[in-house]
Amino acid sequence: MKEVLLYEALEDSKTRCKTCAHNCLIVPGKRGICGVRENRNGKLYALNYGKIVAENVDPIEKKPLFHFLPGSTSYSIATVGCNFRCLFCQNADISQMPRETNIIYGKEKLPEEILKEAVIHKCASISYTYTEPTIFLEYALDIMKPAKIKRIANVFVSNGFMSPEACDELIPVLDAANIDLKSFREEFYRDLCGARLSPVLDAIAKLKKAGVWIEITTLIIPGQNDDPAELRDIARFIVSIGKETPWHVTRFHPAYRMLSAPITPVATLVQAREIGLKEGLEFVYTGNVPGEKGESTYCPSCKALLIERFGFRSNIINLDHGHCGKCGKPIAGVWKF
């Protein structure tokens, strides 16, 4: 374990965690909402520091990042824990483990060991993913700082519910992030995730303004966040931070405590993509439907096929040093590092 980087010591040995937007007030002997930050005699500790529960070499497209080093691999890691309690979580066995079982499981691995593995596997980046990386911020930063020096990119796959202070710590070393914008309704975040919308919007805007490459994902759940008006609101927000920001509209499959909800119809994803493009977004992608046309990248100007995709495989067709090979339009993204 390691002392938490961002917290405030209060009277009566209480602590205020400043890592995520919950700002948990934690009394001695108790943990925050994430289940991995514990007050021990007036000091706050990250109990999951260096405890790896998941570790894989993934295609960068799995994050999903479509405009960041396409075709490369990313060394992907996670610890247990999450600051959300999404009823539809795809990785609930590890994200909710501390909350539901009081167990903090993981294989101990030093930051330099993660870096070594990334180099051995010739990964262009390290992704902090699978669970919410904000709740293992200290561990992530201890990997990210030397990774930056070694010219290995750093990627967050996040729910975006981080504090402004956490954003400030990440900005100098974070190269790209895919952030879930799960809904544009406060009640969705409150009832289905145990969180709030506004801090997510603030974090997205802050990271984007600071120059971090941002892509947005919305898992579309039938009857919950698939209303066209809400999808338009999401698209308009993304346009407001930059019309070049890719938006991934992704198919839901029943999971965790939403096993009775239906799978998202492909027609709903196609409609969402059309809404995003109509509102002015240059790149909208359909996810979890391998072979669907909306997986591929097209030039916003001449509509030429630039990158053809099937699932997590990318085939660059007409992208020439970040420009459309047909009309020459610059295509937003990070194409080399």
Q: Does pLDDT of 74 surpass 90? A: yes
Residue 183 shares a structural domain with residue 313: yes
Of the candidates 81, 102, 106, the one whose C-alpha atom is nearest the C-alpha of residue 20 is: 81
**pLDDT value at residue 337:** 87
Tally the domains of the chain. 2
Q: CA-CA distance, 276 to 164, in Å (whole number)?
A: 28
Q: Does pLDDT of 298 surpass 90? A: yes
Average pLDDT of the chain is 97
Q: What is the residue whose two structure tokens read 């809400």?
A: 230
Give the pLDDT confidence of 231-287 residue by residue, as tens digits: 999 999 999 999 999 999 999 999 999 999 999 999 999 999 999 999 999 999 999
Residue 105 shares a structural domain with residue 184: yes
Handedness of CA 201, 206, 209, 210 (dihedral sign): negative
Q: What is the mean pLDDT of residues 46-65?
A: 98
Residue 97 shares a structural domain with residue 246: yes
Give the pLDDT confidence of 147-165 residue by residue, as tens digits: 999 999 999 999 999 999 9
pLDDT level of residue 134 (50, 70, 90 thresholds): very high
Residue 164 lies in a domain: yes
Residue 76 lies in a domain: yes
**pLDDT value at residue 1:** 86
Residue 334 lies in a domain: no
Residue 151 lies in a domain: yes
- Residues ≥6 apart with Cβ < 8 Å to 149: none
- Quick one: what percent of the chain has pLDDT higher than 90? 99
Q: CA-CA distance, 202 to 208, in Å (whole number)?
A: 10
pLDDT level of residue 103 (50, 70, 90 thresholds): very high
**pLDDT value at residue 237:** 98
Q: CA-CA distance, 39 to 46, in Å (whole number)?
A: 9
Structure tokens at 319: 């992208």
- List b or e across 79-88, with b for residues whose CB sees 16 or more CB atoms inside 10 angstroms: bbbbbbbbbb
Q: What is the mean pLDDT of residues 62-75?
A: 98
Instruction: Provide, for the chain, the percentages of residues in helix, strand and coil under a 3-state DSSP scheme, each rounded to the nearest 5.
Output: 30, 25, 45
Q: What is the mean pLDDT of residues 52-76?
A: 98
Query: Hey, how many other C-beta atoms are within 10 angstroms of the C-beta on 18?
Result: 19
Residue 156 lies in a domain: yes
Of the chain, the end-to-end C-alpha distance in Å amounts to 33
Domain closes at, from 13, 31, 46 = 46
Residue 135 shares a structural domain with residue 240: yes
**pLDDT value at residue 212:** 98
Q: Which residues constitute the domain of residue 234?
A: 51-324
Q: What is the mean pLDDT of residues 5-15?
A: 98
Q: CA-CA distance, 124 to 152, in Å (whole number)?
A: 6
Q: Does pLDDT of 110 surpass 90? A: yes
Q: What is the mean pLDDT of residues 300-314?
A: 96
Angle between the N-to-C axes of helices 228-241 and 198-209, in degrees from 0 to 180, rounded to the nearest 10:
30
Give the pLDDT confidence of 199-215 residue by residue, as tens digits: 999 999 999 999 999 99
Q: What is the mean pLDDT of residues 17-37?
A: 98
Residue 120 shares a structural domain with residue 226: yes
pTM listed for this prediction: 0.97
Annotate 242-265 with DSSP letters as a single string.
Answer: -TTS-EEEEE----TT-TTSPPPP
Residue 331 lies in a domain: no
**pLDDT value at residue 283:** 98
Q: CA-CA distance, 56 to 277, in Å (whole number)?
A: 34
Q: What is the residue whose two structure tokens read 């824990």?
A: 81
Residue 20 shares a structural domain with residue 153: no
Residue 301 shares a structural domain with residue 247: yes
CATH number at residue 62: 3.20.20.70
Residue 131 shares a structural domain with residue 154: yes
- Quick one: what percent of the chain has pLDDT higher than 70? 100
Residue 33 shares a structural domain with residue 143: no
Q: Does pLDDT of 324 surpass 90? A: yes
Residue 61 shares a structural domain with residue 189: yes
Angle between the N-to-C axes of helices 111-120 and 137-149, in degrees from 0 to 180, rounded to the nearest 10:
50
